[in-house]
Amino acid sequence: MANQKILIIGGGPGGLEVARGIAELGYEAVLVEKRDRLGGTPDEASYAALTPDLRPAEEALNEMIEPVVNHPNVEIMYNTLVHDAEGELGNFRVKALQLGKEVEIEAAAVIVCTGFTHFDPGRETQKYGYYEHDDVITLVDCEKMLKAGNFVRPSNGEKPKRVCFIQCVGSRDRQIGNEYCSKVCCGIASKQAIEIRQHVPDCKVYIFYIDMRMYGYWENEIYWPAQEKYKVNYIKGIATEILKKGDRLLVKGEDTTLRRPMEVPMDMVILSVGMEPSGGTKEMAKIFGLNQNKYGFIETTGGPLDTVSTNVPGVFAVGACTGPADLEDTVSMAGLAAMKAISAMRKLAPVSA
């Protein structure tokens, strides 16, 4: 009889939702996670509140983790890294290292949920001086500070009076090689702007942008309240460079609707860094022979009508390992992948009703 287990690689929101779905449908899942805990990037990078509903990330993740760790149908393998695979739909044999010990997992189907990594603003150019100026931080750094409830200038520990976000850092950039929009940064910057205004009410917050991409309900749930209720200033035109002037940062750019150059002093600058494929994503693509697009994300084959199938039958991909994705995308893809994996398995070994 063919193997009836489904292997899930990655214990972030995508992997967790896949595992829950498979288990609740009465099938067995093996969830492999490289860290010693679940929760993925939102946990690892200490996200404070989720976008768009500003729900505490920890609380939401626990709600996802709890039904998985307690489900008899899910086996979780922590500290485990997949390094080799062979076989095909119905009969994958996957090799992994668990704390240095070789293990082999047999599975009928594989669902890759290895996510993304945040763009490193110092990787290609030093345009914004991320590694040069203490007070230039990223969305990720900001998220950590917000979670710690201590939003201060890294340079002197003081509460900032003026903070700006610069959008599209590492995204929509041919020279960097990331031509895509990272999809979530406009929403996350606006969400963080709201949180900064809540934490430090006398701090002025500015968002310098090319286009605000607040699709769907993010428009009225984040963007409009940020501007209308929290008085966040949106200014069209992103900064070109950041100079140090005294103990402040001078943000230089163009105010495009005024058609004038701007040189505005700021206490802190937050770079809205986008998404790139994680190391794990690139590694899994290689191991399973999955097609990658030019940016390194796993290519799904069905266009808009099938967002999880790959070129390898029986291997599916979920969430930000396929390209920029928000939580809504990831969780929705997870349900779809669980369904597709199970139906592929059932086609091989029909279950008598």
Partner 1 sequence: MPVDKNQIVEKEKVVVDGIELTAEWNRMFEQRVVADYDDSVLDRITSIAGAESLGWCYQCGQCVPVCPVDTVGGEYGPRKVYRKVQQGIDLLTDPDLWKCTTCANCLRVCPKAVNMIEIMPAVREEAVMEGEGVPEELQEAFENTFEYGNPLGESQRKRADWVKETGAEVPILKEIKKPVDVLWFVECYPAYHARGKEASAALAHIMNTLGVDYGILGTEEKCSCDSQRLAGETGLFEEFAEENIKTFGKYKFNKILVTDPHALNALRKEYPKYGGEYEVVHYTTFLAPLMKKLEFKNKLDYKVTFHDPCYLGRHNGEFEAPRQCIEALPGVELIEMWRCKANSYCCGGGGGGMWLDGFMADHVQERLSENRVKEAIETGADVLAVCCPYEVSRFEDAVKSTGNEGKLLVKDIAELIREAMG
* Binding stretches for partner 1 (CB under 8 A): 204, 206, 212, 223-224, 227-228, 231, 233-236, 255, 257-258, 260-265
Question: Measured from the CB of residue 208, what is the shortest distance to partner 1 in angstroms?
Answer: 11
- Closer to partner 1 by Cβ: residue 112 or 268: 268
Q: What's the gap between Cα 93 and its chain centre?
A: 29
Residue (119 or 209) nearer to partner 1, CB: 209
In whole angstroms, how far apart are CA 246 and each of 18, 204, 209, 261?
52, 19, 26, 21
Q: Quick one: 130 or 223, whose CB is closer to partner 1?
A: 223
Report the alpha-carbon distance of residue 50 to residue 186 in Å, rounded: 13
Task: Compare residues 28 and 255 and give the one whose CB is closer to partner 1.
Answer: 255
219 CB-near residues (< 8 Å, 6+ apart): none
Provide the minimum distance between the beta carbon of 144 and partner 1 in the complex, in angstroms, as a whole number.
27
Tell me the closest approach of the beta carbon of residue 232 to partner 1, in angstroms: 10
Residue 127 or 204 with smaller CB distance to partner 1: 204
Which residue lies nearer to partner 1 by CB, 143 or 221?
221
Smallest distance from partner 1 to CB 236, Å: 6
* Closer residue to partner 1, CB minimum distance, 101 or 260: 260
The CB density around residue 345, as the number of other CB atoms within 10 Å, is 23
Distance CA 38, CA 28 (A): 18
Please state the closest distance from residue 153 (CB atom) to partner 1, in A: 19
Q: Tell me how far apart the alpha carbons of residues 188 and 169 are, in angstroms, rounded to a whole number.
A: 13
Least separation in angstroms between CB 193 and partner 1: 13
Q: What angle do CA 79, 342, 332 make, to 5 degrees?
A: 75
- What is the nearest approach in angstroms of partner 1 to the Cβ of residue 4? 53
